[in-house]
Each structure stands twice: as C-alpha cells, then as structure tokens.
Chains A and B, each alone.
Chain A
Amino acid sequence: MARGKEIYIANCITCHQPDGNGITGIYPSLVRSNKISMDQTKRAVQLISHGSSFEGGMKPIHLSEKEIADVINYIQNSWGNETPATSTTELRAIINN
C-alpha cells in the first residue's frame, strides 16, 4: 500500500485528487460504492498502459507492471474501496490478454 500510494502521488493525484474523487466533469472519481469487478480492474490496467481512446482522455502512464499492480491495489483499497490485492502475475495475465 505504501508503494502504491507513492506511485499514486507521483502519477495520478493531480487529476484523481487526494481523495480519489477526481474533478467533476473532467477527471472521473476512482471511488466506488460497490465491490470492484474484474472488468473494472481490466479497464484500469488498460487505461494506465494504453490510455483512453477518447480524444482528450487519459494518456498512458509510464509505469512498470509491478508499479501498475501496486497503484491499482492502492486505489482499490483506499477511500472506502475494498478489493483483494491483484498480484503482478495476475496483472501480467490481464495485460497480455
């Protein structure tokens, strides 16, 4: 979690904000009221490694697989989010699919 938090601060915090709520109308909130699904994890990995396909959307972030795993685990277990940790191995499987 500590590693993930540091990665979050260096790479995500400006847009998604310290409370994960993003900025209304511009940057989406990362806070989920329901349990986070596998699809959402996949989408997160996709966005971090390849960016959004929308014009003006999120750009890929220069992170290693391990850093992606760390930051996703941080996001998915902060601000009331609760999700079991994603391992780098699981993540690699997601990236390569």
Chain B
Amino acid sequence: MNAAARTAARAWTADEMMTVTAARHLRDGAVCFVGIGLPSAACNLARLTHAPNLVLIYESGTVGTRPSVLPLSIGDGELAETADCVVPLPEIFAHYLQAGRVDVGFLGAAQIDRFGNLNSTVIGSYARPSVRLPGSGGAPEIATHAREVLVVMKQSPRSFVPQLDFRTSCGYLDGGGARRASGCPGSGPRAVITDFGVLRPRADTDELELAAVYPGVAVDAARAATGWPLRVAPEVEVLAAPDPRDLACLRDLHARTQAAHAAPVRIALPAKL
C-alpha cells in the first residue's frame, strides 16, 4: 500500500501520529525546552491532556508559557503574554539550560547518524556547501545540557545517513559510552520519533534501533527509509493509534492557531509624522 492509500485507510496523518507520540514521551511536571513546529504542538498537546503541569520554555526567554494558539516563531507575543516570566537570552542559556534545570530538549535536524548525532549546518563541505542550512541556534547546548533529548525527524535515506556532513550537535558521539566518558552532563537522545515509529539507543552500544512502529507500518519499510543497516529490537512494539480525544484536542489547537493568524496586520500611523 502506498503512503496516500495508507493515509486514506486510517483516521490520522503521519504528522499527527508523530505529534501524539512525542506528547506521550512527556511526563507531567517536566521542564521542556521547546522548538517551533511539531515539538511545540506536541508539548502543548501534552499540556492540554495528560501533563497539565508541564513547564514550557521557549529559547526566546519565555518560561512557563501556556499559549492558547501555537506560535509562528519563538518570538511570538502569545508566548510572552502567557509566560510566568520572560528573561533575557543570556539567562535562558546560562541559568536554565547550562545550570541543568531543563529535563527535556526537543531537536530536529537535516541529518542524523546511527548514534543520534545531528547536522543542521551544511550539506557538502563547510567551505563550499551545496546547501547552507540555518545553523546551530541553541541546538548544541540543548543536546549537551538537557537531561534527555527527544529528536523528531521524518525518516529517509537522505536524512538518516551513515556519515554526517557536519556534526552540529552531539548524540552519543561514536557510541559505546563515548558520550558519558566525554563528561557530557545530559544523557543524550532517549528517542528518535519518525514518521514510521520510534528509534531508541541500545544500552550497550548506544546505536539507535527500531523499537516501535505505528499501526500499519512494516519494519522493512522503516529499514528501507534508513541510510544505514538499521538494527531492529528483538521485540518491536506496535504503538496504539492516537486516542480520539487527543486527536480532537490537537486538531482543535491547529484550527485555533490558523484562525488566530488569519487576520491581516494593520498598523495605525499618527496623522502627522
């Protein structure tokens, strides 16, 4: 069955399944460093469902935000207006992240390798890149200092690669305990949530293996979408389809977001400038 037929046959999209799966990884009360896009949707879904005391920190300095609609960028006014406090950027990175006050960091990237290291800098060589990507932002420090990291990425042989073009942020380095030995304070990627299922690191080698798939996803399909010979856990869990209440909540959140951002921007200029 191709992707379109699969979508038609079920009541949810791959994006929704990824979002719900990411949300399920968040325990109530955890302090999360959130990015824009799917992680932001996942964190707010968790906050609106099973984890009402989730603490959301966006790297723009908003701490404890409870946005009623999803932000367009990390600088959205909605994040500042619904926050417990808004702090300057040096404080977010030093007092909150570097000092070890963040439980979960969300990351994505253009490339990931089998040890969960991430590239968001360049495709090709650094000096003459074929694609210049946006760059690191807060990712290297999030990857290092958050107690654990959740990676959210669509799986394809182009993005799940045997060798990164550039290591922007560290996962388990070369595996086999290398990260721990390096003195890195956080424990590294706990899960890589893809559009096929969930990859987790093996305890002994730190290598990512396929631990779970979504309903209707074949293990072989997930392996074919990986640029290295993907190892498969002895027992691959088949994750439950999204709870209809979670799906309704997520769709409602997206609908509210769209409506809130539909109005055209108007600026009133004084009569005499």
Query: A and B from one assembly?
Result: no
Q: Which residues of A contact B (CB under 8 A)?
A: none
